[in-house]
Structures are given as structure tokens and as C-alpha cells.
Structure 1
Amino acid sequence: MKDTLYEQYKLKMDRFVKAFGYDAIIYRNIIYCIVPRQHVEQEELYEIKHLSDYMIQKGDIRVGCILPTTDGNLSTTIHDEEVVMIRIPVYSHRNTNTLGNELARFHNRGRSFPYRVNKINRIGQWKFLWEKRLDQMELFWKEKVRQHPQNRFETLFVEAFPYYIGLTENAIQYLVDTEMDVAPSAIDSATICHHRFTETSWDKDTFTKLPTDWVFDHCTRDLAEFIRDQYTRDESRQNGNVIHFLKEYERVSPLSPFSWRLLYARLLFPLHFFECIEGYYMTESENKKEIQLQRLESMLQHSSDHERFLATFLSSVGVNEKRLTIPNISWLQIKKV
């Protein structure tokens, strides 16, 4: 590793540490985080670098900087793995803002990004991406039905998928109706978001941010994925955290009626189910397969709780659905207690 770091980045290693859950080195009191590139293409990395450089120029001193190699590439190979080197800003002071407050400020800065984004652009593409994901999984499901399930996971998948087809179609229709019925506001402009935003996406004390999982999308992507993660985190469903998070966000950036409906459409989309099924079939590890089986069993066991969460979510966070003319999902309301 030492030879590669010096050859590719002219970095020496004073000591080895962990940062953001990744391997990292300290050189001249600066942390350099070694982040696996995973499935991110080079062209996507260049767009992400443009976004992060812009945010740093706009004054966000807590954004990590992607380091090019000596020959201008944005990734290199260490121990047979493609990695990206992130220079972590030297900022040790605890951030006194709340997470919701800081995310709203982050989104506000990101909305002013003046250049075209192609590879990591997701704005306006949810319908297409959800339909594509549903069609692909439905083909896969039909094949599993034809072959007959081989184990408990496949049995649960085959039995449960028709229910999640219905939920996905509800989400897509809700999204389509929103885009037809409601005019977007200034807050609905595209901004810098995360592939999956959770309370662990940023350093919890300083809110230092790694840019490697950024996309360009509507702000409610991050809000919905934070809420989804909180909901699935434990039995208490973390509702107090969600209410506080949204209130703090809206202190800086009040959500429009369009935003609330988009947020709800994304919560309706059963992303947790798709990722569970995909996660099971994409791994060779028996241990990871077992984890996904347990996850699926828990998901199906708590499906009524999930319906109740969807039915009561807007009212539980203080949204006046009638004033904002936010429609309900009729079949969920029947089960609303």
C-alpha cells in the first residue's frame, strides 16, 4: 500500500487509522480516506468531483475532496480493489447545528450548482427507474415461480412479491399524479443529494461529508431515505427523531406541497424490499444470505406495521393534508386505526 500511495498520490503514511468506517492514513496531520469505488464509473466520479469542488468553493468546509492520481485518474487499485482517495478537511470543532438544519443548508448550496449533470442525474427519473426495477424483478420472479422455490427465502419471495407489485404501482401512480396536479416551487429545483442518506452518512460530530455517494436529485430523496432508515432501525420506529429532523429542516427550507407529495411517493415505493431481494441474490456469502433472509422475514412479519406507518405518516409529522391538498391512498386508510 505504501508504494502505491506514494507512486499514485505522492503521499507517505505517518500512521494508519479508520475514518467513516473505511481504511485511512494520516500524513502531515491530514486524514486521507481510502473509499472503495464499487460500481461508480469514472465519468460519474468526475461529475461527483465537480460537485464537491463546487461545494468547497461555496464555503462548505466540511466536504471531502477527491484526490486525482499523478496521471489524472480519480481512482487507483490497492490490494486488487478499485479505490478513491478522499482528503478529509481539517475541522475538529463539533458542529452545533442539528442534522436536519445542516442538510437543508447543504441542499440550498447544492441548488445553485450551475453546470449540467448527466451521469449522476436522477431528477425526474424516479418513474422510469421504478418501472424498470419492477419489470426486471417481475421477470425474475416469474422464472422462480416456474422453477419452483428452492429454499425458504425463495418461497417467501415468490409468495410476497405480488403484494409489493401493488405497493410499487401505487407509488408510481402517486408520483405521476403529483407531477400532473401540482406545480413545483423554487425548493423543488434539483440539488446535491445522496444515494442513501441516513444519520450515519456524515460524521456525527463535525458533519464532515464524503462525496462518493452523491447524486443530483430532488431534496426529498434524502428526506425519504432518512425516514425509511429511521423506521427500519428498531421497534420504536424512531418517530420522535423523524419529527425533530423534519422540523429542523423546515426551519431553513420549508417544503412545498409538491415536495410533501414527492416525499410520500418515495416512502410508498418499497425500496427496502427490492434491496433485500437484490442483496440476497447478488452475494455469494452464506452469512450475508442468512442476514437477508432474516431481514425479509422481519419485513413480512411487520407488513401491517408498515401499512400503518404509511397511513399515518403525514398526520404524525404535523402535515395538514387537507390544506396542502395531499391525497390519501384509499386502501391504506381502510386499515388506519
Structure 2
Amino acid sequence: MKKFLFDHYNLKIDRTVSLFGYQGIIYRNILYCIVPVANWEPEEIFEIKQMSDYMIQRGDIRVGSILPTTSGQLTCRLDQLDVVLVRCPVHSSRGHEQIGKELARFHKRGRSFPYQVSKVSRIGQWKYLWEQRVDQMELFWKEKVKSHPETRFEEMFIEAFPYYIGLTENAIQYLVDTELDEYPAPIDSATICHHRYTELTWDKQYFVKFPTDWVYDHFTRDLAEYIRDQYINGENQINDQIIRFMEEYERGNPLSPFSWRLLYARLLFPLHFFECVEGYYVTDSVEKKQKLEQRLASILKHSSENERFLASFFQNIGVDKRRAKVPGINWLSR
């Protein structure tokens, strides 16, 4: 690694660290992280670099930037992999900083990003992406039904999938109705978001915001994924942290009726189920398969609690559905 860093970036190593599971070094009090970008198109990396450079210019000193090589390339080959080098200033830990407030500030900055985004844009694409995902899994499910289940995981998947098709159809219809019924407010313009925003997305030790995790989308993507992660890992219930997070966020960015409905549509989509099944079939690790089998069993065991969570979501976080003009899902309230 010493030779790689010196040859391509003219950097030396003072000490090594690990960040988000990636290899990192510290040189002259600056943190550098080597991030694999397999299967990324050059246009994607260019757009990510544009977004990170812009956020730094807007005053976010905790955003990492993609460092070009000494020859001006954004990517480099290391151990047969395409990688980028992300440069992050070393800061003290974030301590008790309000994560909802900081995310609202992040989205507000990102909303004024002035350049066109195409490769990493997901704005307006949820319906298509959800339909594509469920159609692909349905074809796979039909094959498994024909060949008969060979493992406990496959038995659970075959039995449960029709229910999750129904839940996905509800999410898609709710999304379509939202786009037909509500007019977006200024806050609903696209901004810089994350693939999966959770409490751990911004490293607690260095509080680094990694741009390689970013997409360009509606801000409720991040809110929904944070809430989903907190709910699933919080014994399947609304916890104080979710309520506090939403209160902190809304102080800086009050949600519009369109936002509330988009947030709810994303919570309706059973992403945790899809990721569990997809993860099981792409891994060769026996240990990971066992963990994902336990995870699927837990998801199915708590499906009734998930329905109650969705049915009472707005009430539990203190939102008046009539004032926010948010329709419910009748069958969830049975």
C-alpha cells in the first residue's frame, strides 16, 4: 500500500486506520480512505465528486472529497479492483450533536446543488425501481416453487412472498396516488441523500460524511430509511429516538403534505424483506446465510407488529393526519 499511495497520490503513511470497514491512512493529520468502486461508471464517480466538492464549498467541513491521482484520474487499480481515495479532515467525535438537525442542514445545502445529475439520480424513479425489484423476485419465486424448497429459508420465502407482493403493491399505489393528489412544495425538490441512511452512516469517531454513499433523491428517502432501521433494531416499535429525530429534523425542514405521504409510501415498501432474500442468494458464506435465515424468521414473526407500526405511525410520532392531509391504509387498521 505504501508504494501504491506514493506512486499514484504522492502520499506517505503516518499510521493506518479502519473506517466503515475500508482501509485508511492518516498523513499529516489528514484521513484518507481507499474505497472500492467496482462496476461504477466514470460518470457516476464524476457526479459524486461534483456533489462532494459543492457541499465542501457550501461549508460542510466534514464531507470527504474524492482525491484525483497525480495523473488527474479519479479512479485507480489496486489488487485488481477499481478504487477511489477519499480525503477527509480529521475532526473530534460528534458527541451529542443532534443527528436530525444535522441531516436537515445537510439536505438544505444539497437542495441548491446547481448541476444536472443523471447517473446517481433516483428522483421520481421509486415506482419503476420497486416494480422492477418485485417483478424480478417474482420470477425467481416461481422457479423456487417449481423446484420445491431445499432449505428452511426457501420454505419461509416461498410461503411469505405473496404477502410481500401485496405490501409492495400497496406502497406503489400509495406513491402513485400521492403524485396525483398532492402538489410538491419547494422543500420537495431533489437533494443529496444516501443509499441507506442510518444512525451509523456518519462515522461517530471521525464524523465523516462519505460521498460514495450518496444518491440524488427526495429527502424523505433518508428519513424513511433511518426510521426503518431504528424500528427494526428497536424491538419493532416506535422508540424515543425516532420521535426525537423527527422533531429535530422538522425544526429546520418542516415536511409538506407531499413529503409526509412520500415518507409513508417508502415505509410501506418492505425493503428489509427484499434485502434479506437478495442477500441470502448472493452470498457464499455459510455464516451469513445462517444469519439471514434467522433475520427472515424474525421479519415474518414480527409481520403483525409491522402492520400495527404502519397503521399507527402518524399517531405515534404526533402528526395530525387530517392536518397533514395523509390518508391511511384501511386494511392495516383492522
- TM bin, normalised by shorter chain, reads over 0.9
1:32 corresponding residue in structure 2: 32
1:209-228 equivalence runs, <5 A: 209-228=209-228
Q: Secondary structure at the match of 2:163?
A: helix
- Equivalent residue, structure 2, for 1:171: 171
Bigger drift between 61-70 and 73-82 goes to: 73-82
Shift of 1:309: 0.7
Q: 1:95 touches 1:206 (CA, 8 Å); kept in 2?
A: no
Per the alignment, in what secondary structure is the counterpart of residue 26 of structure 2? strand
- 1:87-146 Cα deviation digits (max 9, x unpaired): 112333746640000000000000000110000000010001000111111111111111
Q: Does 1:49 align with 2:41?
A: no
Q: Deviations over 1:149-192 (max 9, x none)?
A: 11111111111000000000000000000000001001000000
Aligned-partner Cα distance in 2 for 1:253–1:269: 24
Q: Which residue of 1 aligns with 2:91?
A: 91
Deviates more, 1:269-278 or 1:36-45: 36-45
Between 201-210 and 141-150, the greater mean CA deviation after superposition: 201-210
Give me the TM-score of the superposition, normalised by structure 1: 0.96
Give the Å deviation of 1:37. 1.9
Q: Superposition pairs for residues 65-214 of structure 1, below 5 Å?
A: 65-92=65-92, 94=94, 97-204=97-204, 207-214=207-214
- Partner SS for 1:82: strand
Q: Distance in 2 between matches of 1:225 and 1:39?
A: 24
Matched, 1:257 2:291: no
In structure 2, the residue matched to 1:243 is 243
Question: What's the counterpart of residue 311 of structure 1?
Answer: 311
Q: Is the 8 A contact 2:192 2:216 kept in 1?
A: yes
Count matched residues.
Answer: 334
Amino acid paired to 2:140: F
Per the alignment, do residues 43 and 150 of structure 1 end up closer, same or farther by CA in structure 2, a change over 3 Å counting? same
Whichever residue aligns with residue 149 of structure 1, its letter is P
Match of 1:293 in 2: 293
Greater Cα shift, 77-86 or 11-20: 77-86
Contact 1:26 1:32 in 2 (8 A): yes
Q: By how many angstroms is 1:203 displaced?
A: 2.4
Look up the equivalent residue of 1:320 and give its one-letter code.
D
Contact 1:75-1:83 at 8 Å conserved across structures: yes
Distance in structure 2 (CA, Å) of the matches to 1:280 and 1:85: 30
| 1:273 alignment partner in structure 2 | 273
Q: CA deviation at 1:80?
A: 3.3
Q: TM-score, normalised by structure 2?
A: 0.96
Structure 1 letter corresponding to 2:103: L
Q: Structure 1, unaligned stretches of length 5 or more?
A: none
Moved over 6 A (4+): none
- The letter of the residue matching 1:100 is G
Q: Which runs of 5+ in 2 are unaligned?
A: none
2:4 aligned counterpart, secondary structure:
helix
Q: SS where residue 88 of structure 1 aligns?
A: strand
| CA pair 244-38 structure 1, distance change in 2 beyond 3 A | farther
Partner AA of 1:77 in structure 2: R
How far off its partner does 1:233 sit? 1.1
SS of the equivalent of 1:31 reads: strand
User: What's the CA shift for 1:36?
Assistant: 2.3
Name whichever of 7-16 and 185-194 sits farther off.
Answer: 7-16
Q: Secondary structure at the match of 1:113?
A: coil
* Identity among equivalent pairs (%): 65
1:13 corresponds to which residue?
A: 13
Q: By how many angstroms is 1:207 displaced?
A: 3.5
